[in-house]
Amino acid sequence: MNAPRVTLANVALRAGVSRSTASFVMSGRGAEMRISEAAQQKVLKAAADLGYRPNLTARSLRTSKTHTIGLISDAIATTPFAGEVIHGALDAALAHGHLLFVAETAGNEAVEADLISEMLDRQVDGIVYATMFTRYQKAPAVLSKVQSVLINCLDPTSSSPRIVPDEYQGGRTAARALADAGHLNGIYVIGGRHDIPKTPGGLYAGVNRMRGVEDELRTYGAGVVLSYECEYEPAFGYKATTELLSDGHRPRALICLNDRLAFGAYQALGERGMRVPEDVSVVSFDASDLASWLRPSLTSVALPHYELGKIAVTTLLDAPVRKGGESKDVLVPMPLHEGDSIAPVTPVGQIQE
């Protein structure tokens, strides 16, 4: 049998003060109400001795705040790397004294609608709506009526802040990593900018990463020799690299638009007896576990999963969203994780193919 719940009246009786005095102290308003320091300490000691815990339901009725947040996603919770989004959101919620409810829809719109309704029925203070990768997608209309923040969801009709990776600067970072090692010639791209529905992030990530790559190389008077358009999977990275070599191209550096493409490229280069990085330097994107497992380890521009979750919750709680205005994009930096896949250029063979 559960022990009877300790009430505020119990605390007041133990401390020898009125219930209202105990209430002011436990709500942090003791000094404001000019309650003596001695009385405040009596109340706090009584609460600690009795194991008093405030009634959050009653508090929420008074303040219209439940100190809870909902995070709803399509596949974040069961995605190994994107699961860091949840860790970041949890840490930020904890720092703000909030509890985080997490739910996943598996892309089912009916499930999504039910989950959002459940969150709202529990009177969460706000909702973070996340998609697994950055894409153009309309957020549920009901979110326009509540405090909300979007992660990876580019809805042009929403007034909620959109927290997304800074893919453009990420592209510049990748190109700069090659340029810093002297690679200004013989640079090829595997993945390219394209709109292939099956490719996660293909449109948004591909376009903006390529823009960044091209703009950064242009500052050095350099450019990409050839961009091979393909889906972002190992088999296509292998096929693209094999075809480039079979067509007579001899890349000095490859920019692969994600780590899975780089994995395929490594295999194709190895079959041709070409070494990374001695013969071909490689830089990639995502900084997944795959990047560290490859040999040599892959230099990769990281997707900032943890920071996306943390910034989303912080944005939701620190700067309440004003509905009806224009949305605000919060671009999260993508840091470079250095591996061993880039070698300095040697004087021999510096000819653009």
Six-digit token string for 190: 């595997």
Claim to verify: residue 191 and residue 281 sit in the same structural domain = yes
**Cβ–Cβ < 8 Å for 262, 277:** no
CB 299, CB 336: distance < 8 Å? yes
The predicted pLDDT at position 198 comes to 44
pLDDT at position 116, please? Answer: 84
Q: What is the DSSP letter of 298?
A: P
Percent of the chain with pLDDT strictly greater than 90: 48
pLDDT band at 352 (very low <50, low <70, confident <90, very high): very low
CATH number for the domain harbouring residue 33? 1.10.260.40
Residues composing the chain: 353
Which pLDDT value is given to residue 80?
61
- pLDDT recorded at residue 350: 45
Share of the chain above pLDDT 70, in %: 86
Burial class of 116 by CB neighbour count within 10 A (0 to 12, 13 to 18, 19+): buried
Q: Are residues 186 and 78 in the same domain?
A: no
Q: How much is the pLDDT for 243?
A: 95
Q: Do the domain assignments include residue 59?
A: no
Q: What is the pLDDT of residue 117?
A: 85
User: What CATH number did the domain enclosing 324 receive?
Assistant: 3.40.50.2300
pLDDT at 57: 54
Per residue in 296-345, pLDDT (tens digit) is: 999 999 999 999 999 999 999 886 555 555 558 899 999 999 999 999 99
pLDDT surpasses 70 at 203: yes
269 and 161 in a single domain? The answer is: no
> How confident is the prediction for the chain on average, in pLDDT?
85
Per-residue pLDDT reduced to its tens digit, 142-155? 888 788 899 998 88
Residue type for 114, please? D
| Segment 252-290, tens digit of pLDDT | 999 999 999 999 999 999 999 999 999 999 999 999 999
Range of the domain at 132: 68-165+305-334
Q: Are residues 205 and 293 in the same domain?
A: yes
Residue 2 domain-assigned (yes or no): no
Identify the pLDDT of residue 167: 95
The pair of three-digit structure tokens given for residue 299, joined into one six-digit string = 């230099």
* Better-scored residue on pLDDT, 292 or 323: 292
In a domain, 102, yes or no: yes
Q: Give the integer Cα–Cα distance in Å for 117 and 329.
A: 26
Kindly state whether residues 13 and 104 are assigned to the same domain: no
Query: How many structural domains are present in the chain?
Result: 3
Given a cut of 50, is residue 351 above it in pLDDT? no
Q: Are residues 120 and 157 in the same domain?
A: yes
Predicted pLDDT at 64: 52
